[in-house]
């Protein structure tokens, strides 16, 4: 088939699909992706299977619908599909849930193909935008169509109730582990632990930066007076983990030793999550990773506008 590039084997497809799991955490490592998948399987074997199928579907969609060859080999077209497939499986409830999840995976990959080139010309990272759009549209459809049903246990992510009394002593380690798990919309110590291990396998900085992001958001949220139970669930941490890795590591062209901008960006995800929740919750929509996108793009734009801002502050310390 002229104009198309081909996988050498099914083994390559699986490897690239596993990379999709690592790309959710902004990594490019098949072994780390396998560990993440294992964590999801230990939480729910069927959910793990659907996540893998979603990644494979997204990867194939990128391949046959004009996606970049290098991006396909790095699992780029799989990570939004994984998140979209998992979201549909968790948020919707009907006999054809698995089929809707695969359609969502295809839709997320198509959005990546269509938007990637447009945004790349403007040096704007796509991040998890396709996942958010596909998930929100799926939920809106479920509210309007009788054939689709919202899972009765569905609750919006990152509930920003700032008036709850702070009772008890929060557990930072619990918030760290569950926080990284919540990136995949999963409340599981097994999944969170293996995802954290996967981060360190990909590189010590990934693990350390994820820990720093959790600590910063944990401290910010606690100082603002959030409920301890919500803090321990990691609902205020997962956006900060992604933001810290993105701003402090992946998009830091200067490779500063001290990721000051990343720390600020991670802290900002907490109030952003609060604001987004106030806007989205009345419409029955979860915050998902929208605080990660907003904070990351805001600080990347700031870095372009004031390129010496971070280095000047570090020099003064």
Q: Render pLDDT for 63-72 as a digit per residue (tens, 0 to 9).
A: 999 989 999 9
Quote the pLDDT of residue 311. Answer: 52
Higher-pLDDT residue of 280 and 52 is 52
Homologous superfamily of domain range 10-144: Ammonium transporter AmtB like domains (1.10.3430.10)
User: Looking at residues 139-166, what average pLDDT do you find?
Assistant: 67
Token pair, residue 230, equals 């919500």
Q: Distance (Å, rounded) from C-alpha 118 to C-alpha 158?
A: 30
Domain regions of the chain by residue span: 10-144, 203-310
Token pair, residue 216, equals 């910063």
Query: Residue 93 pLDDT > 80, yes or no?
Result: yes
Strand partners of residue 150: 92
Quote the pLDDT of residue 46. Answer: 96
Query: Residue 42 pLDDT > 80, yes or no?
Result: yes
**What does pLDDT average to over the chain?**
86
Quote the pLDDT of residue 164. Answer: 46
Alpha-carbon distances of 225 from 173, 231, 270, 276, 284, rounded to whole Å: 19, 10, 11, 18, 24
Q: Render pLDDT for 238-253 as a digit per residue (tens, 0 to 9).
A: 999 999 999 998 887 6
What pTM does this model have?
0.89
Quote the pLDDT of residue 15. Answer: 95
Instruction: Quote the strand ranges of the chain, DSSP E.
Output: none
Determine what percent of the chain is predicted with pLDDT higher than 90.
Answer: 60
Quote the pLDDT of residue 306. Answer: 67
Q: Render pLDDT for 253-274 as a digit per residue (tens, 0 to 9).
A: 666 666 889 999 999 999 999 8
Q: Which of 69-83, 119-133, 294-308 has the lowest mean pLDDT?
A: 294-308
Alpha-carbon distances of 238 from 1, 35, 100, 150, 267, rounded to whole Å: 42, 18, 26, 24, 12
Q: Distance (Å, rounded) from C-alpha 249 to C-alpha 209?
A: 8
Q: What is the per-residue DSSP string for 142-190? A: HHH-TT--B-TT---SS---TTS---S---HHHHHHHHHHHTTT---HH
Confidence of residue 90 (pLDDT cuts 50, 70, 90): very high
């Amino acid at each position: 088939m002229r104009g198309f590039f081909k996988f050498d084997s099914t083994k390559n497809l699986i490897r690239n699909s596993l990379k999709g799991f690592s790309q959710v955490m902004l990594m490019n490592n098949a072994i780390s992706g396998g560990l993440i998948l294992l964590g999801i399987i230990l939480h729910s074997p069927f959910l793990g299977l659907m996540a893998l199928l979603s990644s494979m579907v997204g990867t194939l969609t990128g391949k046959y619908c004009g996606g970049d060859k290098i991006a396909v080999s790095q699992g780029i077209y799989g990570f939004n599909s994984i998140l979209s497939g998992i979201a549909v499986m968790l948020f919707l409830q009907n006999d054809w849930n698995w089929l809707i999840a695969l359609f969502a995976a295809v839709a997320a990959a198509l959005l990546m193909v269509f938007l990637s080139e447009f945004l790349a010309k403007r040096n704007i990272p796509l991040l998890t935008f396709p996942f958010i759009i596909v998930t929100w549209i799926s939920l809106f459809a479920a509210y309007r169509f009788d054939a689709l049903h919202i899972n009765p246990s569905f609750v919006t992510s990152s509930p920003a109730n700032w008036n709850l009394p702070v009772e008890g002593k929060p557990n930072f380690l619990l918030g760290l582990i569950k926080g990284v798990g919540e990136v995949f919309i999963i409340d599981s110590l097994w999944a969170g632990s293996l995802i954290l291990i996967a981060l360190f396998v990909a590189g010590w900085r990934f693990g350390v930066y994820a820990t720093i992001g959790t600590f910063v958001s944990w401290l910010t949220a606690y100082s603002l007076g959030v409920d301890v139970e919500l803090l321990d669930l990691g609902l205020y941490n997962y956006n900060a983990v992604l933001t810290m890795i993105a701003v402090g590591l992946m998009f830091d062209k200067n490779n500063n030793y001290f990721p000051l901008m990343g720390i600020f960006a991670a802290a900002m995800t907490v109030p952003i999550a609060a604001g987004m929740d106030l806007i989205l919750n009345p419409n029955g929509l979860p915050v998902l990773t929208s605080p990660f996108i907003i904070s990351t793009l805001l600080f990347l734009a700031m870095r372009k506008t004031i390129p010496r801002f971070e280095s000047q502050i570090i020099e003064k310390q």
